[in-house]
Every structure is written in structure tokens, then in C-alpha cells.
A and B are shown apart, each in its own frame.
Chain A
Amino acid sequence: MPLPDTMFCAQQIHIPPELPDLLKQFTKAAIRTQPADVLQWSAGYFSALSRGDPLPVKDRIEMPVATQKTDTGLTQGLLKVLHKQCGHKEFVELDDLEKKWKNLCLPVEKFRALLLLDPCTKRIEWMKFLALGCSTLGGSLITAMKHLCEILTKDPEGGPARIPFETFSYVYRYLANLDPSISSSEMESYLASLKGNVEARKNGMIGLSDFFVQKRKL
């Protein structure tokens, strides 16, 4: 509302009623996401909001990795954000992805490095990208699968992160193919065993406990 010509007191100043709520949501998102560059991220946030896209907001607060061992600042949370943003599509445009990547204040070089693992031109299958991201998160294939499970699962956090076995096997195969050290026969046998386990028990979902033994600190 433009300022009327004669304004005499502070009570005349009118605050738009949606503003506080908007601000609050934004603040909460910022606090949760903890972007390195707030401005960049805010631009991304508001553009996504205006377009109606899923917001680049982490669901859980995750302190940014200060000492960046992997030098990406890529965390599971961020991958989750990306997944939230792009997961509904099967294929993502690289430019779009790059923009989103930047909005999360992640270094672009790493993006390129990721893409180098599996080169493609315009678009990339989202699953593959996610798989690549997961592999950079953890050192081994198994940890990558663990991250993947946790990202993709619909179960509540902390629960058995279950994903459909087909997805699992697909990603597993993909990553194993990329990794030259694992032979395909090993992979197949492993997958077969897992499959047997899974089908005996549940409805085709594979959970963390099936392949990942967490070292419990006793």
C-alpha cells in the first residue's frame, strides 16, 4: 500500500497481513536449511515458491559440515532436498539441476565432477544422479545404498528405511556396473540372496536391516 500523503503517526503504517506468516515460514526454512549463501538460497526459495515448486528446504535441521572432508558440502539432507525438488520427474534437465544445485550453495565443480562419472548431455535420469550423489556421500557401495534407502524411503525417520526391491536392485546394478571392482556375478548372487530374504518376508520392500548391519556402539 503506498504511503498516503499525510501520515501522522506510527499507527497509520499498515502491515500486510500475510507478511508475518510469510516471513516466519521463510525464517524457519532458512534456519532449517542453513544455506551458506543466504541470498542465493533465498532467491531460489522465493522463485520456487512463486512457481509453486517444492521448496529447497530441508526437512530436518542439519548442521552444515564445517570441515568438508569430501569438499562438497553435499549432505544427505541436501540430496533429500534435491530429491524433493526433482524426484517427481524421471528425467531432469541439466540446467535446471545446475540451478538447483547452485541454489543450495553447493560448489559447481562438484556438480561437474559428479556428472563426469556418468556423462550425459542434456538430461539425466534422476535416479542415476541420486545414486551418484549417494556414492559420493559414503565410501562404499553399501553405504551408498544405505543413504539411498534413507533418502528414498517413505518410512518415518529412524524407522526401517524400506524401498521397493526393484529400485534397490536397479540402483545397485547401476552402481556396481560403474564400479569396476565388483564383478557382475557377485552382484547377481548378492542380489538374489537379498531377494530371497525379502520375498520370504515382506511385500517386496527391502529395508536397511537386510543388507546393512549397523555397528552398534555398546
Chain B
Amino acid sequence: MPGPHEERPARRRTRDPGAGGRAQRPEVPFPAGLPEKPTGRNLREGGTSGASPGCWATGEDASDRLRAAWSQPSGAPACGAGLPHPAPPPREPPLVPPLVPPRHPCPWHYLRLSGSLESLAPTCFKAKLHRKSGGSTPDMASAPAMAGRTPGELGGGTYTYTSRPRAVPCQRRRYREDPLQPSEESMHYGNIMYDRRVIRGNTYALPTGTLPGQPDLLDLQRQQMARRRALARKRAQERLRPRTPEPVEGRKHVDVQTELYLEELADRIIEVDMECQTDAFLDRPPTPLFIPAKTGRDVATQILEGELFDFDLEVKPMLEVLVGKTVEQALLEVMEEEELANLRASQHTYAEIRNVELAEVQRLEEQERRHREEKERRKQQQWDIVNKHNETAQKISARVFAQRYLADLLPSVFGSLRDSGYFYDPVERDIEVGFLPWLMYEVEKTMEYNMVGRTVLDMLIREVVEKRLDQYEQRSLVPGPGRPGHPEAVREPLVGFQLPSDPNLSQRAAYSRAPQPQDRRFLGLDE
């Protein structure tokens, strides 16, 4: 027992300062197997008085923790790393079991204060129960508060908690409580919902509980009283329970196992964590070839000629196939060809018949055509004849009618013609046309000559008279030359003399011509 005492401080020194609050209470009630139960209990009791057998959060048991605590805590959780843990006044239990450093550093442990470590672990409950000094309850109550408050106390750090998820270990007791060792009232289940250590309510304003160093006396007292009462109740009940009688004088009760094989009795189920890891960088080696083991027996034999192979036998299937297939194929082909030939033959027959029929049809058609043509021709002929006949009749009738109609046309025509003078005597006509007009013309001319002569004569006379008159006048006026009128007068007679001077000239022409120029001259003269 003193050993652990010594060890503890030493261990504390070796421990990480950051882990100051760590399991300072090392408490493994059973370092290396319980020697016997009562002592173990004692141990436990003693140990748990101030020890936390196992970390509740990490699930390690006290032994582990104690064991781990020996090694340097490596990889200490970062939570609260920056937090310098204050060195709370440790609650030194009177009895300190051999200290084994916990193997698994648990963040809870970091935050845990010395006095409250055991209370945080489930086994801490047991420790708490066994501890007579009390104060665990307040510890329990205050632990979370303290734990929560620690950072606040320290000044401004954030509260973090991380833990590896762990299953809640079974806390079922195997054996009932020793009557001499009444158990404290405690909560046997690990349900978080009913854990008084879990803070409920708002977390931003933490209740200002009692300081760790100054527990609320009133609360403490009340709790102690309650506990005592409960214990008393329990004790009373225990006494009523029948127990094994006390050992007789000089004897001692000993627990003995009656089974074949001894079994180590332990309340706590030994849990062992095992880890395994494969080498990450090693390639899987190729699978070895599977060569099955040789089974069976080796037997040797010799084959003589003719034993393996019998030609007739072997060739039979071949022959069967050959012949069978040949026959089958031949049959098929023959049938096919036959069918085709049949088809062709029937085709030809049909074509033949058709040809014959076609020829017949053609012949008949030809005949028919000829008949028809003949008929047509005859009909046409007949028609023509009839037409002609009709025409002729019509012509005849027309002619007759015309004849009759124009019967008296001729005489009337002749009559009218005669009347219009188309039939004339040519001599008469000639006389009429030719002679008589000439005669008339001649007569007219002669008469005209006469007239002209008379006219000329008249003019002559008039001229002469006028001249005479003029002359008389002139003579009367001027017995002068009336020569200007003389040439004319001379001329006149010339002219007038001319007239009869050439009577041999075409009389008619003279007659016709002379008066006319004379007339003109005379007239001109006159004018």
C-alpha cells in the first residue's frame, strides 16, 4: 500500500503537465488478479476511495488506465491542450491502490479534476460507493460543473469534448453485495439520459455552483443525511435477508468452485482490446498455382495391335452417315428435280394448249374479221347503189320539172331578146349605126356652113357698115387718112379675096376653117 503512495506522486511528475488533471487517482482495485474477494473488495474500496477505476468515456478500465499511465502519454488529445490544467487540490484517498497509468488517454481525464476523476467513470460509481469519506457525491455533482467551469475559470477557453465512441460496458454485478459491505445508493445504469452529471438546461450561463474547494455545506449535509438514511434502510433489509450462517468455531467459510474446471471469478469482465493492422503498402502476392495433389494410382498397360481399333466397327457410323445422307440427299434432289420438271412440263403443256387455243382464236378472229369486212363492203355497196338510185330519180324528176318550168321560157326569151333588139339585120343596123349619123352630121355641117356663111356675111356687112360709118364719121371730122382702117379693110378683102382665091383647097376645110379663124379675128378685132 505504501507503494502506490509513492508511485503516485512519481507518476504524477512523469505525467504530461497538460494532463495534470489526469487520472491522478489511479485506482485499480485489481492490479493483477484478485487474490481474494474481500481483499479485492478492500482493495477496490481503498482504491476507489480516491481512484477512478476506469474511464467511463473511453471505456477503459482502471487497470488499463493505470497501466497506460506508466508510458508517456503520447498523442494526448488536443482537447483542452491549450488549457493549462490547474492543479486542483487533489483529493487524496486514504487508501491508494497500486497505481497503473491508464493506457488510453482520455480527454475526460484531462479535464477531470483531481477530486472528481473517479466520479466521471462508471466504475467511479463503485469507487464512490465504496468510499466512505464521502464527498464523492459533491464531487459528482460538481464535477461536471467544475469541468465545465474549468475553462471558464481559466479564462476564456472553449469547452470541447471529444471521445472515441464506446459502448457502455456492462455494469451488471455478478454477485450480490456483501452484507458487510453495504453498497451505497447509486445509479446502476449508464443511461445518459438519466445521468446527473450531464448538464441540462442552458449552457451559456452555467450555474454558479460551489467552487471546487468550497462545497456547499448545506447541500453536502443534506446529501449525507439522505445517504445515511438510505444506507440504514438497506441495512435493515439486508439483515432480514437470510444468509449463510456464520462459520462455526475454528472454521472459516471459503468460497469454493465445484465445477470441473476452475473459473476465475471476477466481477469485472476482463476486456482486452486487440488491434490489428495490415501492412498498407504490401502488394498482395500472386496466388500460387493450384496443382491438385496427385490422386489415384499409377497403372501401366500395353496395347497390342488390333485391340484398340476395329475397322468394321469404327467405320459403321461413318458408313451409316455416308450412305444415309447420300440416299437422303439424292432422294431430296430427285424429288426436287422431279417437281421442277413436272412444273416445267405442265407449264409447257399449258403453254402448248394455250398456243393452240390462241391459234384457234386467232383463226376465228381472222375469220370473223373477214366476214365482217365482207359484210361491211356489201353493205357499203348496197348503200351506194341505193344512193345512186335515189340521186338518179331525183335528177330525173328535177330535169322533168325544170323542163316543164322552162318550157315557155324560150319563146319569151326570144321574144324579149328580139324586142330588145338583139336580133337585128346587120345591113339595117349598119345603115342605122354608120350611115345615118354621118348623113346627119353632114347635113348638120352643111347647115352650119350655111349659118356660118350667113353669119359671116352678116358680120361683113356689119363691118363694112361700121367702117363706112367710121369713115363717114372720120371724113366728116377729118378728111384725113383713114389708113389705119385701111389695111384692115385692105386686108379684109384680101382675106375675103383669099376666100375664093383657093377654092380648090379642100372646100370643106376652108369652109370649116376659114370662118372660124375669121370669126375669131373679127371678133378679136371687134373687141
| A residues in contact (CB < 8 Å) with B | 3, 5-10, 13, 15, 19-20, 23-25, 27-28, 31-32, 59-61, 155-160, 209
Which of B305, B329, B334, B344 touches A158 (beta carbons < 8 Å)? B344
Task: Please determine whether B330 and A159 come into contact, CB atoms closer than 8 angstroms.
Answer: no
> In the complex, A213→B439 CA distance in Å?
116
Task: Tell me, yes or no, whether B333 is within 8 Å of chain A by CB.
Answer: yes
Task: Please determine whether B344 and A60 come into contact, CB atoms closer than 8 angstroms.
Answer: no
Task: Please determine whether A20 and B326 come into contact, CB atoms closer than 8 angstroms.
Answer: yes
Q: A23-B326, A28-B330, A209-B356 are in contact. Are A159 and B349 (CB under 8 A)?
A: yes
Contact residue range for chain B? 20 to 34
Task: Please determine whether A156 and B345 come into contact, CB atoms closer than 8 angstroms.
Answer: yes
Task: Please determine whether A24 and B308 come into contact, CB atoms closer than 8 angstroms.
Answer: no
Q: Shortest Cβ distance from B208 into chain A, in angstroms?
A: 104
Task: Please determine whether B344 and A28 come into contact, CB atoms closer than 8 angstroms.
Answer: no
Taking CB atoms and an 8 Å cut-off, the chain B residues in 338-362 that contact chain A are 338, 341, 344-352, 355-356
Interface of A is mostly: loop
Which of A23, A25, A31, A158 touches B322 (beta carbons < 8 Å)? A23
A208 nearest in chain B by CB position? B352
Q: Shortest Cβ distance from B47 into chain A, in angstroms?
A: 89
Task: Tell me, yes or no, whether B300 is within 8 Å of chain A by CB.
Answer: no
A161 nearest in chain B by CB position? B352
Task: Tell me, yes or no, whether B323 is within 8 Å of chain A by CB.
Answer: yes
A10 nearest in chain B by CB position? B314
> In the complex, A45→B326 CA distance in Å?
18
> In the complex, A61→B336 CA distance in Å?
11
> In the complex, A157→B326 CA distance in Å?
28
| B residues in contact (CB < 8 Å) with A | 305, 308-309, 311, 314-315, 317-318, 322-323, 325-327, 329-331, 333-334, 338, 341, 344-352, 355-356
Residues of A contacting B327 with CB < 8 Å? 27
Task: Please determine whether A158 and B330 come into contact, CB atoms closer than 8 angstroms.
Answer: no
> In the complex, A36→B513 CA distance in Å?
155
B313 nearest in chain A by CB position? A10
Q: Shortest Cβ distance from A217 into chain B, in angstroms?
A: 12
Looking at A3, A8, A23, the one whose CB has the most chain B CB atoms below 10 A away is A23
Q: A13-B314, A158-B346 are in contact. Are A31 and B352 (CB under 8 A)?
A: no
Residues of A contacting B311 with CB < 8 Å? 3, 7, 13
Residues of B contacting A59 with CB < 8 Å? 341
Q: Shortest Cβ distance from B336 into chain A, in angstroms?
A: 10
Residues of B contacting A159 with CB < 8 Å? 348-349, 351-352
Residues of A contacting B345 with CB < 8 Å? 60, 156-158
Q: Shortest Cβ distance from B328 into chain A, in angstroms?
A: 9
Residues of A contacting B325 with CB < 8 Å? 20
Q: A7-B311, A23-B322, A24-B329 are in contact. Are A158 and B352 (CB under 8 A)?
A: yes
Q: Shortest Cβ distance from A26 into chain B, in angstroms?
A: 8
Residues of A contacting B318 with CB < 8 Å? 10, 13, 15
Which of A8, A13, A23, A157 touches B315 (beta carbons < 8 Å)? A13
> In the complex, A15→B323 CA distance in Å?
12
Closest 8 CB pairs of A and B: A158-B348, A27-B330, A158-B349, A158-B345, A159-B348, A157-B345, A10-B314, A28-B330
Residues of B contacting A5 with CB < 8 Å? 305
Task: Please determine whether A8 and B309 come into contact, CB atoms closer than 8 angstroms.
Answer: yes
B325 nearest in chain A by CB position? A20
Looking at B318, B330, B331, B349, the one whose CB has the most chain A CB atoms below 10 A away is B330
Residues of B contacting A8 with CB < 8 Å? 308-309
Residues of B contacting A27 with CB < 8 Å? 326-327, 329-331
